[in-house]
Amino acid sequence: MPNILIVDLRISADEFLRHYQGSARHVSCRARDGRRVQFPTSILQRFVSHEGIRGSFRLELDDNNKLISVSQIGKP
């Protein structure tokens, strides 16, 4: 059964540019249930706007905590 995490992100466009340029390769944040989660910046590229990354995201993980999918479920 997949493991679902919900995270709320606010990453400015300038900060995300550092990720995109490779100086930061991972995003580390706390899920709504309190668990700390880290994932590759690259999975967020399709959600970037001129404001950066803003919104709530659903991360689906397999039994080994490997990312299966990510989807945006809400915007601020």
Element (H, E) at 50: none
Question: What pLDDT, on the 0 to 100 scale, is given for residue 2?
Answer: 67
- The first and second tokens of residue 63, run together, are 């039994």
**Helix boundaries (H) for the chain:** 13-21
User: In this predicted model, what pLDDT tens digit does every residue of 3-59 receive, in sequence order?
Assistant: 999 999 999 988 888 776 767 788 899 999 999 999 988 899 899 898 999 999 999
Rounded Cα–Cα distance for residues 6 and 73 (Å): 9
> Domain 3-74 maps to which CATH number in 1.25.10, 2.40.50, 1.10.287, 3.40.50?
2.40.50
In sequence order, which residues have a C-beta less than 8 Å from that of residue 14 and are 6 or more positions away?
A: 52
Domain ranges of the chain: 3-74
Identity of the amino acid at 1? M
User: pTM here?
Assistant: 0.85
